[in-house]
């Protein structure tokens, strides 16, 4: 059961204390408080766990400082919608708003290789008005003898170049809790020139210890990739791990499913689940067309499969696009064949704009349906 | 090796005879002729099969009546593109053009139940300017004790109602070669009020005997559904069966893949393969959002997942949409939960138009890319 | 609801007539009779379909000639066990008994190529006391330009050689109902030198029209292969199609599932489902190690993966083994890489015997468990 | 390229020094030393990585202290067989030998719940002569609100009871590197009453950071479970991560694959890959029938599906069996439905013995084949 308090409630008020004491007197019930800092206000949610069937909902709603009470299902307690249209969705981070209505492009390098490539990338983004990018420093690789990313050593120049070119948020994969500390230390040291969205990759979707570590910190929001070999429900439960530890600033990323049916694509694109994730949870939904498709092949209409996959996510209302670019894909250390070229960036962004406009028109249509 | 003759070549001409004789003198080579009736012209293609590596391509190009010669790969000999942009794509049937540029909606009943429902459906289509529909008479069912469709008994009223409401093409599944004869006989008997696109379902994608039977007739074009449990390449080879028997008027239909990753959808939507099929073959590409998604659930933006799946196919340039509607889904005998309501039809068509317009804009973008 | 009559019931008796009339008076109930010819006796089962919930089971049991009545679930009405240990299992055909206790090896040619190879195979089988074989005349192939089997033309020499070497049953795939007639005609013409087990391949598991045609004839028993891309339940329903049309002499064949997880094997071997199929249905269970594994690779213990897969089926109590051999695999027209060599036959049979003996010991153990 | 030195080579000898210096003079080559402590001797392997194509193999073989040199493929450098029958296989730990010939049963509790259940389990194992068990203290769970295991708090009584009942090796899952330290500290504190085989679960097969941490320590051998949604090759590469960090005492565990084809089993049993893993690598191969099957259902022959799955692994030569038992499955906190009962233990062990004997007979057969 979820008790939503009045916005900006004062925890030292008499009403709050009375309510808090009453909840703790409920038999066989654990009380867990969860605070969300929104753009305009602070929201306090109290989860009642345990033998909640016997609780009188109306009585709880009468307690001081309580705004409303909703019964929640077992699954996705914190991140779920629970058919309550009024729950807060999304968050702001470093001046950028992430929710189920906005759309941000995170074009960038799958793996950081040289400062020159990072700068070329950042500059191109800046010239096209972009505030976000992706930069891979820690790379999990199937083969232990493959290049594993430059790790900590590249962080300072990546962060400083981001600052130079006005990039507000970098999506950066972490594979070990130490990476969070390394990133944080380097941000401190370089004077916080940018912000970091911690990315958890598809091989770690059910690395529950990593999820707990990332969920326990509140400095950085999280981009969680869907597991490529598990059900959607299992992946959403992984997101709930983050929230259950305290961090509900989570974006969920679709990136294709591993099955032989995907061929000639690397994965079977699953962006039809964009509306599903939005229906089941309050998370903004990201798509990763690069890892889904895995090649730059062109259709007879002159557009590449990556452009088409991106368009499919956008036409269904996705909120973020994670996409690989590279100034010189031939020399890329990881996943070169799927990186788009820098000269494609303006057309790619224009293509997204065309489709996004169509999505906005479609959304208006719905008023005539229901 | 493929020898394309001049359009409208005269088979009784001297040049033709000379060419024909020369080809038959090639050692260890089988000669197979394939004639395609296009909108404007008749195209004759001659396939040379066997030990073609030793054939001198230039010499064959010098033969009279030969326009050009292309070396073709083993796969998809007739339906493949073979990187030859000039091969004819598509066909006309009963006044409707099917190719990789057009877009047709086939909204209709998954399973015919009553004449009243058929008429309500046809009338609604007619009111919204539609020329095509889907109507299921023969239904393959997993359980032998389930309703198997009204079969032959419903054909005459379906055809007559189609004629009454100006429907030019009905997509209708066949599961046995006898059904072709039954359909043909009933069309004769009712005076050809409409045309039929023979549909082969996903359980029969590798029913090679049915493919051969359908491929041997040239009255009806074919809509072949992708197999839900085989690779794309295997399904495209199944299409090639139709062509190898003589019928290359084939539309290929994506309908989602069977995997537990699809949940909560019935199948994992595979419409990102629209551009892939267009790149590999000359077939128009259809999508079936109803069987892919399997439910009418709404996203928070007010649009149902079926609308979103449809939009994903259209934004990537699909050429046909097969979609279930029903005047009263609660009473539908097959797949009621996925049928859209008749009152949704105008908004559905308008939604498609919005997205189709966006696709056309996108296609123009590509000129700036390549 | 299933009404089992006394064995060898006399249909012209007064009791039978009375019973029959009473059943037909039940409101909203269809009555369907099913006769099974066992080794010792004829069994008559009567299925009551429709609104059976209201039928008084005890009253039906009181009717003359009725032995007992069982309520059956919706699934696998005829072939299912319905938790009734007493239902008859298996059948006899051409002197060979097929049930859930026996074990028969069907070693032979995946595709018939020459009379010499057929004779070498039959002779080797005869020398090792085998009564059964597999011989492929009609071959469904993914690519339309691949060899499709010699078809009807090879039947007479195959049948005659079987007769010459004392082979009682040949498993032979059919892909079209005409093949049944061709086989039957050739058997007539050659004087019935052998018997045929009609095999339905994995691509036709849900070819319901073929299932109906094979189910409507009662000359030949059927070997139905599991569909490689559908659930077990869907495949068992396909078997039920055969029975629902009248032919319940069905053997169910496991042959591996199509998934990328199988690699380096061709399919992911599913023989752990042997006990499952025996629990859910009354069918004897066959395994096909050749198509499952797809290669002759050896383990470090000197045994090939095909031997190991076979052993896994036998140790779990399978009742039939379908396995590819070839006198000269290099020249085999279909699936040469997976065919065992004739010189391996005696060791293969001895290996099976070792494992079968172990299974029989295991089965005795179970008495101490339950 | 792999340089195998003479057994028990003296690293302070002149020959060793000469060889070592020569290898370091090779251009563009990294030299990596790997020491394996076998039962009888110490084996030193030197891996040459990089531009090895240009190295003169014969010349390296002439260097002092070198026994032989083998060219190795890219995959599974350390754990692979590389078609070299002479490479050492297996290891000894706490008095128990693990290799590709032995067979050990690890029956025990999936999740430790109470000291009483642990003691009942250990006592039963001891009474039946068992030296090994499984005990789960750290449990990764899909749902964040499920029971996550007693963790560190149960270690001391588990270890002491193991000591009391003569258990030499406990397989125990770890999900975080801290767990290794906790286990080690508790073993120190309780006086090393038993040994631990660190188990890495299927959700962590590609948790490369955990693999590296476990690979860097040399106190404990490792049991790595196959990933349920990745290819076999990807899982074997994960094992290679452990070895590449220094720990090649790795047992590889098959545990079934996640696919809808498994139904009614929890996973599709993959034990036909036992001979494959033995062919590709030098690792002993474990099977986990409990998680594969997921229920205690009985076949008509009176044996449960778990018994059958176990028999399938053993008949193919598996080297270890990880299996869930529980004194009172109804009260088990995790996976109760798949736990066997304590009273089944003796029959289970006898069943294994029957099948193991059959496997040993089969292995002898192979001498007549090759």
Task: Read off the pLDDT of residues A217-262 as tens digits, 9 standing for 90 and up.
Answer: 999 999 999 999 999 999 999 999 999 998 999 999 999 999 989 9
Angle at D168 between CA D165 and CA D170, to 5 degrees: 95
pLDDT at A74 over 80: no
Helix, strand, coil shares of chain C, percent, nearest 5, are 40, 20, 40
Kindly list the residues from chain D whose CB atom is less than 8 angstroms away from the CB atom of residue B260: 258-260
Q: Scanning every residue of chain A, which has its alpha carbon at the shortest distance from the alpha carbon of C259?
A: A260
pLDDT at B286 over 90: yes
Interface probe for A, chosen from B358, B367, B370 (most Cβ of A below 10 Å), is B358
How far does the CA of residue D282 sit from the closest CA of chain A (Å)? Answer: 18
Q: What is the mean pLDDT of residues A190-206?
A: 97
Mean of all residue pLDDT scores within chain A: 93
pLDDT at C122 over 80: yes
Dump pLDDT digits (tens) for C177-199. 999 999 999 999 999 999 999 99
How far does the CA of residue C266 sit from the closest CA of chain A (Å)? Answer: 13
D288 near D201, Cβ under 8 Å? no
Q: Do C206 and B75 touch (CB under 8 A)?
A: no
CB pairs < 8 Å spanning B and C: 74
d(CA B54, CA C2): 68
Least confident piece of the model among B202-211, C84-93, D227-236: C84-93
d(CA D251, CA D93): 12
pLDDT of residue C259: 93
d(CA A50, CA A70): 15
How far does the CA of residue C146 sit from the closest CA of chain B (Å)? Answer: 11
Task: For residue C232, say if its preceding peptide bond is cis, omega within 30 degrees of 0.
Answer: no
Q: Scanning every residue of chain D, which has its alpha carbon at the shortest distance from the alpha carbon of B263?
A: D260
pLDDT of residue C27: 87
Of C263, C272, C301, the CB nearest to D363: C301
How sure is the predictor about B356, in pLDDT bands with cuts at 50, 70 and 90?
Answer: very high
d(CA D2, CA D92): 23
How sure is the predictor about B53, in pLDDT bands with cuts at 50, 70 and 90?
Answer: confident
pLDDT at A93 over 70: yes
For B177, the token pair is 């070669």
Q: Scanning every residue of chain C, which has its alpha carbon at the shortest distance from the alpha carbon of D317?
A: C301
Interface probe for D, chosen from B228, B260, B265 (most Cβ of D below 10 Å), is B260
d(CA A100, CA A107): 19
A70 near A1, Cβ under 8 Å? yes
Q: What is the mean pLDDT of residues A284-295?
A: 97
How sure is the predictor about A75, in pLDDT bands with cuts at 50, 70 and 90?
Answer: confident
How sure is the predictor about D370, in pLDDT bands with cuts at 50, 70 and 90?
Answer: low
Per DSSP (E only), the strands in B220-277 are 222-225, 250-254
For D80, the token pair is 């692979």
- Higher pLDDT among residues B370 and D252, named by residue: D252
d(CA A239, CA A254): 13
Cα pseudo-dihedral B137, B142, B144, B150, rounded to 10: -10
Kindly list the residues from chain A whose CB atom is less than 8 angstroms away from the CB atom of residue C259: 259-260
Q: DSSP assignment, residue A361?
A: H
Closest to D219 (Cα-Cα) out of D244, D259, D185: D185
d(CA D329, CA D339): 6
- Who's near C248: CB < 8 A, 6+ residues apart? C34, C36, C78, C79, C242
How sure is the predictor about C39, in pLDDT bands with cuts at 50, 70 and 90?
Answer: low
C72 near C270, Cβ under 8 Å? no
Dump pLDDT digits (tens) for D62-96. 999 999 898 887 788 889 988 776 777 899 999 99
Helices and strands (DSSP H and E) totals, chain D: 11, 15
Cα pseudo-dihedral A21, A23, A29, A34, rounded to 10: -100
Of how many residues is chain C composed? 370
Q: Do A258 and C258 touch (CB under 8 A)?
A: no
Kindly list the residues from chain B whose CB atom is less than 8 angstroms away from the CB atom of residue A261: 231-232, 257, 259, 268, 270
- What was the ipTM of the complex prediction? 0.92
- Who's near D335: CB < 8 A, 6+ residues apart? D110, D111, D290, D291, D294, D324
- Who's near D90: CB < 8 A, 6+ residues apart? D97, D98, D99, D100, D101, D102, D282, D284
Angle at C20 between CA C14 and CA C26, to 5 degrees: 140
d(CA B227, CA C205): 13
Q: DSSP assignment, residue C331?
A: G
Q: Please name every residue paired with C170 in a beta bridge, in sequence order, or none if there are none.
A: C133, C196
**Helix (H) or strand (E) run with residue A325 in it:** strand A320-326
pLDDT of residue B109: 97
Q: DSSP assignment, residue A15?
A: H
pLDDT of residue A37: 72
For residue D122, the SS3 value is helix
For B22, the token pair is 């020369």
| First and final C-alpha spacing in chain A | 29
Rg for chain C, CA atoms, rounded: 22
- Residue owning tokens 């997976």: C338
Where b means 16+ CB within 10 Å and e means fewer, B205-244 reads: bbbbbbbbbbbebeebbbbbbbbbbbbbebbbbbbbbbbb
d(CA B232, CA D320): 40
Kindly list the residues from chain B whose CB atom is less than 8 angstroms away from the CB atom of residue A76: none
Q: What is the pTM of this model?
A: 0.92
pLDDT at A36 over 80: no
For residue B73, the SS3 value is coil
- Residue owning tokens 């695999």: C329
Per DSSP (E only), the strands in chain B are 2-5, 29-37, 42-50, 66-70, 91-93, 96-98, 104-109, 132-135, 169-173, 195-200, 222-225, 250-254, 285-287, 320-326, 340-341
Q: Please name every residue paired with D36 in a beta bridge, in sequence order, or none if there are none.
A: D43
Q: Scanning every residue of chain A, which has its alpha carbon at the shortest distance from the alpha carbon of B343?
A: A369
For residue A143, the SS3 value is coil
Within chain C, what is the greatest distance between any pair of CA atoms?
69
Beta carbons within 10 angstroms of residue B50's beta carbon: 14
pLDDT of residue B77: 87
- Residue owning tokens 């020569």: D22
d(CA B109, CA B112): 6
Phi and psi at A266, nearest 5°, equal -70, -35
Do strands B132-135 and B169-173 pair parallel, antiparallel, or not at all (unpaired)? parallel
Neighbours of chain D (3+ CB pairs under 8 A): A, B, C
Give residue D2's region: left, alpha or beta (phi > 0; psi -120 to 50).
beta
pLDDT at B369 over 80: no
pLDDT of residue D40: 73
Of C144, C210, C238, the CB nearest to B244: C144
Q: Sort C64 into a burial class: Cβ within 10 Å, 0-12 / 13-18 / 19+.
A: middle
Neighbours of chain B (3+ CB pairs under 8 A): A, C, D
d(CA C136, CA C115): 13
pLDDT of residue A39: 66
For residue A358, the SS3 value is helix
C132 near C170, Cβ under 8 Å? yes
Mean of all residue pLDDT scores within chain B: 93
B237 near C145, Cβ under 8 Å? no
pLDDT at D339 over 80: yes
Q: Half-sphere exposure (CA, 13 Å, Cβ side) for B298?
A: 11
d(CA C135, CA A160): 72
CA distances from residue D116 to A13, D108, D196, D331 in whole angstroms, order as listed: 49, 13, 21, 13
Dump pLDDT digits (tens) for B99-142. 999 999 999 999 999 999 999 999 999 999 999 999 999 999 88
Of D74, D144, D237, the CB nearest to A244: D144
Q: Please name every residue paired with A5 in a beta bridge, in sequence order, or none if there are none.
A: A66
Of A74, A207, A240, the CB nearest to D207: A207
- Residue owning tokens 């032959």: B152
C110 near C290, Cβ under 8 Å? yes
Kindly list the residues from chain C whose CB atom is less than 8 angstroms away from the CB atom of residue A258: 260
Q: What is the mean pLDDT of residues D289-316?
A: 96
Give residue D147's region: left, alpha or beta (phi > 0; psi -120 to 50).
beta
Q: Do A207 and D208 touch (CB under 8 A)?
A: no
For A342, the token pair is 């820098």
pLDDT of residue C144: 86
pLDDT at C370 over 70: no
């Amino acid at each position: 059961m979820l008790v939503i308090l009045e916005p900006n409630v004062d925890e030292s008020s008499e009403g709050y204390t009375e309510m808090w004491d009453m909840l703790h007197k409920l038999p066989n019930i654990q009380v867990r408080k969860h605070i969300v800092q929104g753009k305009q206000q602070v929201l306090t949610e109290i989860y009642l766990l345990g033998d909640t069937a016997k609780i009188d909902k109306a009585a709880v709603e009468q307690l001081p400082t309580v705004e409303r009470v909703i019964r929640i299902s077992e699954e996705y307690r914190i991140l779920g919608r629970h058919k309550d249209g009024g729950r807060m969705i999304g968050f702001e981070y470093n001046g950028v708003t992430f929710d189920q209505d906005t759309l941000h492009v995170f074009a960038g390098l799958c793996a950081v290789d040289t400062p020159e490539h990072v700068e070329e990338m950042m500059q191109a983004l800046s010239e096209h008005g972009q505030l976000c990018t992706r930069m891979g420093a820690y790379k999990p690789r199937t083969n232990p003898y493959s290049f594993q990313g430059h790790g900590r050593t590249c962080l300072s120049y990546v962060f400083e170049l981001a600052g130079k070119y006005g990039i507000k948020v970098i999506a950066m994969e972490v594979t070990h809790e130490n990476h969070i500390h390394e990133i944080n230390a380097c941000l401190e040291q370089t004077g916080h020139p940018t912000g970091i969205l911690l990315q958890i990759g598809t091989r770690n979707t059910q690395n529950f210890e990593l999820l707990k570590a990332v969920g326990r910190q509140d400095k950085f929001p999280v981009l969680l990739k869907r597991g490529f070999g598990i059900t959607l429900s299992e992946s959403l439960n992984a997101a709930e791990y983050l929230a259950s530890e305290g961090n509900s600033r989570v974006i969920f990323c679709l990136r294709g499913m591993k099955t032989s049916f995907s061929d000639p694509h690397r994965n079977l694109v699953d962006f039809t689940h964009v509306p599903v994730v939005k229906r089941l949870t309050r998370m903004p939904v990201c798509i990763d067309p690069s890892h889904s498709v895995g090649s730059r092949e062109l259709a007879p209409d002159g557009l590449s499969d990556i452009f088409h996959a991106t368009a499919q996510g956008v036409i269904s209302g996705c909120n973020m696009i994670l996409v690989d670019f590279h100034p010189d894909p031939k020399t890329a250390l990881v996943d070169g064949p799927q990186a788009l070229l820098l000269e494609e960036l303006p057309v790619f962004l224009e293509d997204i704009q065309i489709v996004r406009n169509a999505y906005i028109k479609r959304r208006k249509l719905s008023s005539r349906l229901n």
